[in-house]
Structure 1
Amino acid sequence: MSIDSLNEEVLRRLSKMLDNATCGWRQLASAVSEVPKFCYSERELTSCSLQVLSAAGSPGRTLLARLADRSCSLDFLLHCLRKIDHQEAVQYLTTVVAQLIQITVQPQSQQATLGGRVVLICRATGPPGLSYQWFKGKEEILDETGSTPELILCPLAQVHQGHYICRVNHGENVVFSQWAQVRCIVSAGCSSSLFPGAESGLRITRQPQSQAVSEGDTLLLECHAEANPPAQYEWYHNTIPLKQSKTQTLKIPCVTTANRGQYRCKVLNLYHTAWSDTATVTIGPSSITETSWVEVDRGPDSQEIHRSGVGPYPLQQMSKSTSTKHFYATDKVALLIGNMNYVYHTQLCAPIADVHELSNLLRQMNFKVVSLLDLNWQEMHSAVTEFLLLLDKGVYGLLYFAGHGYENFGNSFMVPIDAPASYTSEHCLCVQNILTRMQEKETGLNVFLLDMCRKRNPNDDVIVQPGLLKVTANIVFGYATCVDAEAYEVKRKDVSNGIFISFLKKRVCEDEKVTVMLDRVAEDMGHCKITKGRQALELRSNLSERRSLTDHIQTFECSASQSARNLQWAVAHDLPESRCLQFECGVKVQLGFAGEFSNIMVIYTRILEQPKEIVSCSAQLTDFPEDVDIDLKKSNQETLLEAGSCMLIDDSPASPEAPSLYTRVQSLQRLRGELTFTICLHYTYANMDDEVQERQSVTIGKPLVSKLNLHKLRPPCASSYSSFSYDSFNPSECSSLSSDAWSYKSKADLSRSVNVPEETDGSEFFDAPKPLVASKSLPLSQASETNYKFSDMYGFHSH
């Protein structure tokens, strides 16, 4: 059972217990983070803490709601409450959960021939430690199956005839099942009271058998019954009915790990119902199902060459020995590109929100993430080259692209923002070429998530021949749409999401094989009314191992390549240190920095001190170099939203003790020299109408991705040291973390940090910190509503 099963009164009382500083919701958030999908970013925790500003707000209630959204079970919640030693909450929740016993499978009346076999089944959900008691009439059944969910009567005798009931216990809480009658018959049929003279009956003659199969194999389960009238069949997987399976044989082609578990068949006719035995199915990771193999070289000019071998295990043993194998990554890196502001093509809205949300989710799974917006052809080529430098043997590499795209002759092409109106493959990047370069690094997993159109490009009739792909069995392609179809984004007033990310963000942190996770995303999209017939996820994969995006990182030694990789990644996330500037008039100004994306930075100015004779004062930024992109209408704004940052909203009124102005600097990848700008201080003295100005020039070096010089051409075989000079770079200053109240908190937490501006308490600067509240993107529940229309939505058109 999940947290959703608790009523509002229980949640309210539990939240009240968690709203304390010593042993409360913050400690619970830390405890639940042992499972990757329950890891919460600092921004999300800040959002919880800001609930105290509302009279009815509760940080604990907000955290419980977030856990419910991610399907947290009550068992796991109890485990975490015990872990933080919150005795009051444990005792209360244990009592509540004990009252939530629900019988999910009721025992059914049955009849069978003497000497036959009858199984009565009662299953219940509830708190851990449920116990079962079977009774015949008023007498408790004390044999070995009398205290289990399945009561077995075999061989069936006259003494077994009667009425049975099951009692489910948890402490003092008790729930009874319905009554089930067992009757003995001499032959396969018995007289029917409804149709005298006719014989009716039901007897299962062939039970489904437990078995072990490998991923990619076909699963066959059979259940046969003798019945009059003829029987109907209903198959169940882990107590969930399989609606499409209504025959004696259950056939599942190409099984995955999602198909493991327990299977039962419900057999019924007009008068009777019976349940089959439980068949347990285990799924092994290997597709080799035989103990020996023969390899035959069938080249066009070669003769057959036989190489034989004997496998070390038969199928059953192999499944047991390999199904528990854990996979590790030597590192995990991701490149996320979102192109929106095209020069010659339709403008898009969703990539900024999609890249932002996916960045945060991947960081929770310890990915090193480089997130870039609006790249031209040269910058995309350079970014991919830098991404490849982060890869090495055993590394998990993930590439996500959102923007215009197309597919010709089986090759996918990502369109840069400067592509001409009639672009061809020479103006774009071929994804398959990137894959061949990734394979040269001997990566452990290659994942491509392409959120773009796959329509054919009529302007391009060139058949691109990518490099020869190696047989690596570690490649996954997740296409947001099918071949020759478009991908869409949902337009809203505040922020837009692509259809793909709207569903992917609910599943991407699941601890499942990548292909299983994407299959579930495809199923979710299939249930959405507005996407039916328009957009459907397509999955292509040759992944043969159960590798997941949540796999842990395990390095046995710190190699030179790993050190270079970490340094290279740190360079792309190097923020300037916060500094304080003293003006001649006595005003002291704080200058701070935050990375919204790897190529977008927010700069803020804050007045820390001002003489009493100065009645009004503000510090504005101006004179930025032409390389970077500054929207003058949105610079020096009082809130982040007004400054153009829709990922984080500062909705508090400006504090007179600490007024702040925000300026958003975009396109840092095009910065050719150090970033220099001017702080212009505007102030007015008491009893004076004229405004006075002071100016100071500030140079902050090359922040974030600008150090990588993505605007420069890359040599065919770029080395790890081609992009920047170590002489001018101090690794100890990679991230100005501790001194900047707006930058990341610590180097150890860098991979988990949210890619948004974020304030610490900063009590030394002002008394009342401004609360920062994340804006909401399209939730999955809203994506399923029919009030969203595709009119006025831009598809990711290919031209």
Structure 2
Amino acid sequence: MEEWNMSVGSLGEQVLDRLSKMLDNTTCGWRQLATAVSEQPQFRCSESELTSCSLQVLSTAGSPGRTLLARLADRSCSLDFLLHCLRKMDHQEAAQYLTSTFAELIQITVQPQAQQATVGGRVVLTCRASGPPGLSYQWFRGKEEILDETGNTPELVLRPSLPAHQGHYICRVHHGETFIFSQWAHVRFVPTAGPSPGCSSNLFPGSVSGLRVIRQPLSRTVSEGDSLFLECSAEANPPVQYEWYHNMVPMTQHKTHSLKIPCVTTAHRGQYRCKMFNLYHEAWSDTATIIIGPSSITEASWVEVGRDSREGHRSTRGPGIHQIQQMVNPPPAVKHFYATDKVALLIGNMNYLYHTQLCAPIADVHELTNLLRQMDFKVVSLLDLNWQEMHSAVTEFLLLLDKGVYGLLYFAGHGYENYGNSFMVPIDAPASYTSEHCLCVQNILTRMQEKQTGLNVLLLDMCRKRNLNDDVIVQPGLLKVTANIVFGYATCVDAEAYEVQREDVANGIFISFLKRRVCEDEKVTVMLDRVGEDMGRCEITRGRQALELRSNLSERRSLTDQIQTAECSASHSARNLQWAVAHVLPKSLCLQFDCGVKVQLGFAAEFSNIMVIYTRILEKPQEIVSCCAQLTDFPEDVDIDLKKSNQETLLEAGSLLLIKENLPSPEVPSLYTRIRCLQRLRRELTFTTCLHYTYSNMDDEVQERKPVTVGKPLVSKLNLHEPRPPHARSASSSFSLDSFNIPESSSSVGSASNAWSYPAQSGRESSTIDSPTSSRSANIPEETDCEFDVPQPLVASKSLPHSQINDTNYKFSDMYNFHSH
């Protein structure tokens, strides 16, 4: 390992404070560090110096560890030697934190850009980074390291350029064992004017005159009654339009890149092609031949045969090619399955206290939430939960389950698997956590089965490595033979799950492939099988991560199945109300200040436990030349980054997943403040609106302050910080619909992206609360203007970086930037 030349004194105050807290203990702390550093005489502390460190505990803000670190900084102790000593004394937490902090010091300032070149020309790719002295560079084309004279410099020069140079390039910037990857840059060659005879000007397979086909429809055999899904896509500028043809006859109703026929018949057999075109170019897809087979057998009556019977199994040959054992009645046509309701709990843990920080769960949970809501799932999504909050959230989720309900649980974060049991790790799990610090997925499944659910889907986007600290064999409850369980593991047993950084946000590999398939009208296991096949075809993920599917699902149940509930289902109404009251946004407020300024406060939800508050000036007297309203004095329960509060854009406020499309008054600027961890709010949310303004004839700024109370917004009403009884009752057991009181002031039950949208309106029956229109509505945060009773849209919610990326062309060209869960 190269030497870390940087001194301990180069660490920031926040890093030193965190390290000192880790060292302020008696078992493995500052005294042990003082002994470890004494192997080099210049860092040896005298008895008086050690006494001085010890006396720091007498001061309220004193820290012996911080004092020792300051002495080491004064003596120019290097980070390399400090890390060596921390490892020597076996302080794994501090060593890991210092390593991850040092890695953050390397920042790429200039990213390599895609290049177009002609054969024989000159191509220069540039990557520059800031950080500690002595940074090294390594260039790669795909997996192959470039070993020529510029392959280890910030500028890679390809001269003369050859067709063999075409491909994707990436630069690895490293300092010792710490490294960071640049983004990928694609170098491709374009034909020179007037190609020589015998040379093709079409250098890219599937490209026609500037239009590049990136996905082709595939031939397949389907049964009558099954759904047919064909997909093709292309890249071009201007964007591509699509037109599908069946046996060369235009299908005028299908004008998108995907063709979906929910229930095929023999009339749908034949050849399918797609025409892709724009203003300048046109291309045709490959021909996909669709063969329609005999009807699927979905249900049969069986004669029960004991397991001890030694007779050979008798079988009868029914119509067609199907062999059915002891079938009494012929199969009916096609059976359509329904859910009595569909609910999902999505948990993404990122900011771990004692473990590696993750980046992808925020984007993964956000995108999966939007997709599930399109399929009428009631979704609650929560970020960064501790042990108690995860337990309470799961308990609340189980209360929503009932007979025939589809339940889906998704977890992204750190995890492990011991003796066949999977464990989800909360953010407050200690460094050497065991099963008692985590949640056992199999225990949750056992409790889900007690609800007689129609479908249980568990998607675990986490590592499944063995936890050597945990030697306890957990004995979950016995699973019933229900034939309705689907486990989708993002990776195999004893393997890691990875995430990859893309621009401002990261995506997990599993979700990157799942989001393309999850809305397909297919049996859940078929859909997940295709996800696994997609992952297997990606060369860079092959051998690193592979989806594992475990299922006993015997019926053709799909996530797209429609909801069919009784007209007077009390349990269905109770479920709607139970979560509706917990996802209410505060009503928009108008504050009138003494100086004549009128300020509006609006509220939008990014997740079920993350809310954005915006402030804007509605009116101001002419004699006031400038004014702005800022929010302050928030309670300590919630998490607010003060450096990112009261910002002019959502991005500056820390919201990567919401962008400002248009405001009701776009000429009036707004300030945004993002509030996280609402699940920890123990009282009503209170804060202060501070108005800063200046009169035209005065130089001094004037301030006015108004306290604001907005109740308990979104998921904070559930009090997830409180322990739950061991066996909470079902939502259908004893709910009184009259016990749910939705505050009149809360006119918006919907949220920006993830809260379940069930507007509670007077004069409507409880059975109509679950409106398909509301559940399929756009992902729009809502705010209420002070002059109106109807919620008005404020901003549209979308994944900012992904809106600029064609997902169908996402080939993980930057998959080397791996982080494991």
Task: Return the TM-score normalized by structure 2.
Answer: 0.60
What residue number does 1:692 align with?
702
- Once the two structures are TM-superposed, the CA of residue 284 in structure 1 deviates from its matched residue by 2.0
Q: How far apart in 2 are the matches of 1:644 and 1:725?
A: 41
Could you tell me which amino acid in structure 2 is paired with residue 239 of structure 1?
A: T
SS in 2 for 1:483: coil
Q: How far apart in 2 are the matches of 1:567 and 1:36?
A: 37
Cα distance change of structure 1 residues 563 and 350 upon mapping to structure 2, 3 Å threshold: same
SS in 2 for 1:293: coil
- Pick aligned residue for 1:737 from 723, 728, 748: 748
- Pick aligned residue for 1:784 from 791, 794, 811: 811
Cα distance change of structure 1 residues 769 and 600 upon mapping to structure 2, 3 Å threshold: closer
Cα distance change of structure 1 residues 454 and 723 upon mapping to structure 2, 3 Å threshold: farther
Could you tell me which amino acid in structure 2 is paired with residue 542 of structure 1?
A: N
Could you tell me which amino acid in structure 2 is paired with residue 757 of structure 1?
A: P
Native 8 Å contact 2:347 2:365 kept in 1: yes
Cα distance change of structure 1 residues 770 and 598 upon mapping to structure 2, 3 Å threshold: closer
Native 8 Å contact 1:578 1:741 kept in 2: no
- Once the two structures are TM-superposed, the CA of residue 736 in structure 1 deviates from its matched residue by 1.9
Native 8 Å contact 1:292 1:310 kept in 2: no
SS in 2 for 1:661: strand
Cα distance change of structure 1 residues 375 and 125 upon mapping to structure 2, 3 Å threshold: closer
Could you tell me which amino acid in structure 1 is paired with residue 526 of structure 2?
A: V
CA deviations on 1:762-796 (whole Å, 9 max, x unpaired) are: 9999x99888764133754554244x1435x2201
Could you tell me which amino acid in structure 2 is paired with residue 784 of structure 1?
A: K
Native 8 Å contact 1:762 1:769 kept in 2: no
1:145-164 map, 5 Å: none
- Pick aligned residue for 1:377 from 387, 392, 400: 387
CA deviations on 1:171-208 (whole Å, 9 max, x unpaired) are: xxxxxxxxxxxxxxxxxxxxxxxxxxxxxxxxxxxxxx
Could you tell me which amino acid in structure 1 is paired with residue 643 of structure 2?
A: K
What residue number does 1:752 align with?
776
Native 8 Å contact 1:597 1:755 kept in 2: no
Could you tell me which amino acid in structure 2 is paired with residue 790 of structure 1?
A: Y
Q: How far apart in 2 are the matches of 1:358 and 1:479?
A: 15
1:351-750 map, 5 Å: 351-650=361-660, 657-719=667-729, 730-731=741-742, 733=744, 736-737=747-748, 748=771, 749-750=773-774
Q: How far apart in 2 are the matches of 1:71 and 1:473?
A: 40
Structure 1: state its 5+ residue gaps. Answer: 11-34, 39-55, 82-92, 98-121, 129-236, 241-260, 263-279, 299-303
Q: How far apart in 2 are the matches of 1:562 and 1:336?
A: 21
CA deviations on 1:477-529 (whole Å, 9 max, x unpaired) are: 00000111000001122111100000000000000000000011011111112
1:31-110 map, 5 Å: 78-79=252-253
Cα distance change of structure 1 residues 632 and 322 upon mapping to structure 2, 3 Å threshold: farther
Q: How far apart in 2 are the matches of 1:351 and 1:593?
A: 23
1:238-317 map, 5 Å: 239=289, 261-262=291-292, 280-286=293-299, 293-296=303-306
Could you tell me which amino acid in structure 1 is paired with residue 252 of structure 2?
A: L
- Once the two structures are TM-superposed, the CA of residue 734 in structure 1 deviates from its matched residue by 9.3
SS in 1 for 2:819: coil
CA deviations on 1:291-319 (whole Å, 9 max, x unpaired) are: 86343266xxxxx799x999998868999
SS in 2 for 1:684: strand
Cα distance change of structure 1 residues 428 and 582 upon mapping to structure 2, 3 Å threshold: same
Q: How far apart in 2 are the matches of 1:127 and 1:781?
A: 16
SS in 1 for 2:576: helix
Report how many aligned residue pairs link the two structures.
Answer: 550
- Once the two structures are TM-superposed, the CA of residue 125 in structure 1 deviates from its matched residue by 4.5
- Once the two structures are TM-superposed, the CA of residue 660 in structure 1 deviates from its matched residue by 0.6
Query: 1:333 aligned to 2:346?
Result: no
Cα distance change of structure 1 residues 727 and 391 upon mapping to structure 2, 3 Å threshold: closer
What residue number does 2:84 align with?
none
Could you tell me which amino acid in structure 2 is paired with residue 713 of structure 1?
A: P
Cα distance change of structure 1 residues 664 and 738 upon mapping to structure 2, 3 Å threshold: closer
Native 8 Å contact 1:394 1:444 kept in 2: yes
Native 8 Å contact 2:369 2:381 kept in 1: yes
Cα distance change of structure 1 residues 609 and 657 upon mapping to structure 2, 3 Å threshold: farther
Cα distance change of structure 1 residues 738 and 346 upon mapping to structure 2, 3 Å threshold: closer
- Once the two structures are TM-superposed, the CA of residue 473 in structure 1 deviates from its matched residue by 0.3
Native 8 Å contact 1:436 1:466 kept in 2: yes
What residue number does 1:795 align with?
820
SS in 2 for 1:506: helix
Q: CA RMSD in A?
A: 4.5
What residue number does 1:775 align with?
800
- Once the two structures are TM-superposed, the CA of residue 395 in structure 1 deviates from its matched residue by 0.2
- Once the two structures are TM-superposed, the CA of residue 558 in structure 1 deviates from its matched residue by 2.3
Q: How far apart in 2 are the matches of 1:475 and 1:445?
A: 6
1:94-243 map, 5 Å: 125=272, 239=289
Q: How far apart in 2 are the matches of 1:584 and 1:74?
A: 73
Q: How far apart in 2 are the matches of 1:407 and 1:296?
A: 36
Q: How far apart in 2 are the matches of 1:548 and 1:375?
A: 29
SS in 2 for 1:552: coil
What residue number does 1:200 align with?
none
Cα distance change of structure 1 residues 584 and 309 upon mapping to structure 2, 3 Å threshold: farther
- Once the two structures are TM-superposed, the CA of residue 739 in structure 1 deviates from its matched residue by 12
SS in 1 for 2:331: helix
Native 8 Å contact 1:573 1:704 kept in 2: yes
Percent identical = 68
SS in 2 for 1:539: strand
Native 8 Å contact 2:751 2:782 kept in 1: no
Structure 2: state its 5+ residue gaps. Answer: 1-205, 212-226, 231-235, 260-268, 276-286, 761-770
Could you tell me which amino acid in structure 2 is paired with residue 394 of structure 1?
A: G
Native 8 Å contact 2:498 2:545 kept in 1: yes
Task: Return the TM-score normalized by structure 1.
Answer: 0.61
Native 8 Å contact 2:272 2:289 kept in 1: no
Cα distance change of structure 1 residues 790 and 551 upon mapping to structure 2, 3 Å threshold: same
Cα distance change of structure 1 residues 784 and 694 upon mapping to structure 2, 3 Å threshold: same
- Once the two structures are TM-superposed, the CA of residue 603 in structure 1 deviates from its matched residue by 0.7
- Once the two structures are TM-superposed, the CA of residue 730 in structure 1 deviates from its matched residue by 2.2
Q: How far apart in 2 are the matches of 1:73 and 1:588?
A: 65
CA deviations on 1:22-80 (whole Å, 9 max, x unpaired) are: xxxxxxxxxxxxx9999xxxxxxxxxxxxxxxxx99xxx97x86x89x99999897237
SS in 1 for 2:801: coil
